[in-house]
């Protein structure tokens, strides 16, 4: 009778463990981005980055177009010129975006392989070097290059992102779904060219994506600087039959003109109820094993 009772306890514990959502589909990630070499056009780099949990929106690299040299009726003086180059270059400083082609034509996005971060709470951070005029993007969505080279704008996808701008002392809060877009600005006093760190905090229960920034970041724990009119992006409308969670919700970053990114950190925050229930299941299983041995 005792053995039967222990077996039932062990079975209950096992059922609890296997049936609980203990491990989130979207998982935590920590990458310095300084250990890769080569660029996004090379298969070896693509494989190394992919194995680490990331991918690129585009691996097209340099693209050329025909310039008719001002004489469209005379093909003899036509020549090929570089029209864009979205290559992401890696070195000991991190990931360089748009270093080979200026402006929109150099923009690309590095995204997580896992594409369901809208289903869980998380805190994501990244450090970036940016000067005046360099575009920087950090967000949650598909991470596709779209209108003006910006993330997911003009698409039918659900997406929310933050766009730091040192030359305007602000970061823009952007939300889009089915090409319905909303913009708002958060002021960042004294936001100058240099090294900064950004944090995104996602609360799926409240449907809010919030951003903070640590300007002139020199390493160590994140310390948010004072900002103005800094409200969370409401993501409630991004969840729909034609939105999240069916559509991709990757964490992504990108930019242009040689903006550099490193030290990406994504920390998934488990639901308290799930953790408590999981702990109870583990405890019951441990008790059952101990009783078997005794």
The answer on 153 and 76 residing in a single domain is yes
How many separate domains does the chain show?
Answer: 2
DSSP 8-state class, residue 207: T
The answer on 255 and 224 residing in a single domain is yes
- Could you tell me the pTM of the whole model? 0.82
Pick from 172, 155, 163, 177: nearest CA to 236: 177
Find all residues with CB under 8 Å of 172, minimum gap 6, and list them.
Answer: 162, 163, 165, 183, 184, 185, 186
The answer on 78 and 3 residing in a single domain is no
The answer on 180 and 123 residing in a single domain is yes
51 — phi, psi (to 5°)? -65, -25
Residue numbers of the domain that contains 175: 25-269
Strands 54-56 and 38-39, sheet pairing: unpaired
Alpha-carbon gap, residue 85 to 19, rounded angstroms? 48
The answer on 246 and 144 residing in a single domain is yes
The answer on 199 and 70 residing in a single domain is yes
The answer on 260 and 230 residing in a single domain is yes
In order along its 294 residues, the chain shows pLDDT tens digits of 433 333 333 333 333 333 333 334 799 999 999 999 999 999 999 999 999 999 999 999 888 777 776 778 777 766 676 689 999 999 999 999 999 999 999 999 999 999 999 999 999 999 999 999 899 999 999 999 999 999 999 999 999 999 999 999 999 999 999 999 999 999 999 999 999 999 999 999 999 999 999 999 999 999 999 999 999 999 999 999 999 999 999 999 999 999 999 999 999 998 654 444 344 444 444 444 444 445
The CATH number of residue 230's host domain is 2.60.120.560
């Amino acid at each position: 009778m005792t053995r039967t009772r222990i077996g039932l306890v062990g079975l209950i514990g096992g059922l609890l463990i296997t049936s609980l959502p203990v491990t989130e589909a979207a998982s935590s990630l920590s990458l310095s981005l300084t250990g890769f070499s080569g660029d996004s056009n090379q298969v070896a780099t693509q494989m190394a980055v992919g194995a680490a949990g990331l991918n690129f929106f585009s691996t097209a690299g340099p693209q050329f177009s025909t310039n008719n040299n001002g004489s469209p009726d005379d093909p003899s003086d036509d020549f090929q010129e570089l029209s864009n180059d979205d290559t992401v270059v890696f070195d000991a400083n991190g990931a360089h975006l748009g270093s080979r082609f200026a402006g929109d034509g150099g923009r690309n996005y590095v995204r997580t392989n896992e594409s369901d971060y809208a289903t869980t709470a998380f805190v994501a951070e990244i450090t970036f070097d940016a000067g005046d005029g360099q575009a920087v993007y950090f967000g949650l969505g598909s991470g596709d290059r779209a209108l003006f080279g910006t993330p997911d704008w003009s698409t039918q996808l659900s997406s929310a992102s933050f766009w730091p701008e040192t030359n305007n002392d602000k970061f823009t809060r952007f939300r889009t779904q089915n090409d319905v877009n909303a913009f708002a600005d958060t002021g960042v006093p004294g936001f100058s060219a240099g090294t900064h760190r950004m944090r995104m905090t996602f609360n799926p229960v409240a449907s809010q994506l919030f951003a903070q920034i640590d300007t002139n970041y020199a390493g160590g724990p994140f310390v948010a600087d004072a900002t103005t009119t800094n409200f969370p992006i409401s993501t409630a409308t991004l969840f729909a039959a034609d939105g999240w969670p069916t559509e991709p919700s990757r964490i992504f970053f990108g930019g242009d003109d040689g903006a550099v990114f490193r030290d990406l950190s994504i920390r998934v925050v488990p639901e308290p109820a799930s953790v408590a229930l999981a702990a109870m299941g583990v405890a019951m299983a441990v008790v059952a094993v101990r009783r078997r041995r005794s």
